[in-house]
Amino acid sequence: MPDTVILSLEINRDSLSALRMDSERFILEMRLAAAVKWYELGLLSQSKAAEVAGISRVEFLTSLSRYQASPFQYRADEIANEAKS
């Protein structure tokens, strides 16, 4: 079993209510949102981001569209430069 860390978070019930989520759904969404952002920033690979989110890599890639995030970690100018080489 991988080495894990348990984190605790306090959040106001009104905030959960405003989001229309129960605490379990909030945790799943928060993990996914963090993983997507860290992936966008190039801090995590697709597989590590999926691991943080607690889902498969395929599910992670599918979820990127919900956050309007690209599955590619290269910027358009980087791809253009590669094509020129």
Q: pLDDT, tens digit, for every residue of 38-73?
A: 999 999 999 999 999 999 999 999 999 999 988 887
Domain interval for residue 32:
19-84
- For the CA atoms of the chain, what is the radius of gyration? 16
Instruction: Kindly indicate the confidence band of residue 3, based on its pLDDT and cuts at 50, 70 and 90.
Output: confident
For residue 7, being part of any structural domain is answered with: no
For residue 4, being part of any structural domain is answered with: no
Query: Does residue 6 have a pLDDT over 70?
Result: yes
For residue 68, being part of any structural domain is answered with: yes
CB distance 39 to 74 below 8 Å: no
For residue 67, being part of any structural domain is answered with: yes
For residue 64, being part of any structural domain is answered with: yes
What is the domain count for the chain?
1
For residue 42, being part of any structural domain is answered with: yes
For residue 66, being part of any structural domain is answered with: yes
**Amino acid 81: pLDDT:** 72
For residue 72, being part of any structural domain is answered with: yes
